[in-house]
Amino acid sequence: MSPLATDAAGAAALALLELDEASVGPFLLSRPFVTAPLLGFALGSPWLGAAVGAVFELLTLTELPLGGCLDLSAPIAAGSAVFLAAGPAALPLEAAFPAGLAAGWAHARVERALRARRAAACRRAEEALAAGRPPRLGAEIAGTIGVQAAAAFALALTVFALGGPALSRLWPLLPDALRAGARTALETAPWLGAGGLAASLWRRA
């Protein structure tokens, strides 16, 4: 399979899994502990996927997906990091980690924009009812799911096909101090996340 086809297949898989985050279910299929090992397995590195999944899971577990809370898309972040590390770009994990965080942050902004546009669907249904026609609620729901998946696919493909190769060339050129900072972030992230999670569970229990 060519690198671009692999990128497209990975982006499609990630976009489908991402639907579970806030569109379908949720069944937790979009959580990093599922998404990352699954993508890692597909790319021949299941344990790398599991490690990345554990890191992102611990970092994002305390953020509850309530109402309009949209800071970071955990499935896009974890999936992107796994794909960049185990896919055609083969980035070092300490480079894939911040790139994944950036992808997750960017997707949360896309999701915000999509949510702002969805009021029009309800208005179209109300206009149909006012005109004596049946509202096309199923088509509106299918449309929002399709647009959500297409947006996630486009973002993931951009990250995999453009961001991955660009970062793999840029990474060795960065100053040692920046790369050391990224290594420290990756090394400490699961422990910082686990500590925060344990404290949060303890406080609320």
Q: Tell me which residues in 142-201 interact with another protein (CB under 8 A).
A: 144-145, 148, 176-178, 180-185, 187-201
- 159 φ, ψ (degrees, to nearest 5): -65, -45
- 64 φ, ψ (degrees, to nearest 5): -90, 135
**How far apart, in whole angstroms, are the C-alpha atoms of residue 51 and residue 63?**
20
**How far apart, in whole angstroms, are the C-alpha atoms of residue 168 and residue 83?**
13
Q: Which is nearer to another protein, 60 or 80 (CB)?
A: 60
Binding mask 82-111 for another protein (x = CB under 8 A): ----------------x--x----------
Burial of 79 (0-12, 13-18, 19+ CB in 10 A): buried
Task: Identify the residue among 8, 16, 108, 115 touching another protein (CB under 8 A).
Answer: 115
CB of 25 to another protein, least distance (A): 6
Among residues 91, 109, 112, 110, the alpha carbon closest in space to that of 100 is found at: 91
CB of 138 to another protein, least distance (A): 6
Q: Which is nearer to another protein, 47 or 150 (CB)?
A: 47
Count of residues touching another protein (by CB under 8 A): 83
- Which helix H or strand E contains 126, and what residues bound it? helix 119-130
Q: Are 135 and 122 in contact (CB under 8 A)?
A: no
The single residue listed with the structure tokens 């999936």 is 79
The tokens for 167 are: 């970062």
Task: Identify the residue among 4, 5, 90, 129 touching another protein (CB under 8 A).
Answer: 129
Which of these ranges, 3-11, 81-89, 122-130, 150-158, lies near another protein under the rule CB under 8 A?
122-130
DSSP structure class, residue 132: T
Q: Which is nearer to another protein, 2 or 172 (CB)?
A: 172
Task: Identify the residue among 4, 5, 90, 122 touching another protein (CB under 8 A).
Answer: 122
3-state SS class at 120: helix
CB of 3 to another protein, least distance (A): 25
Site for another protein in 2-61 (CB under 8 A): 22-29, 31, 33-34, 37-38, 41, 46-47, 49-51, 54, 57-61
Which of these ranges, 4-12, 79-87, 124-132, 160-168, lies near another protein under the rule CB under 8 A?
124-132
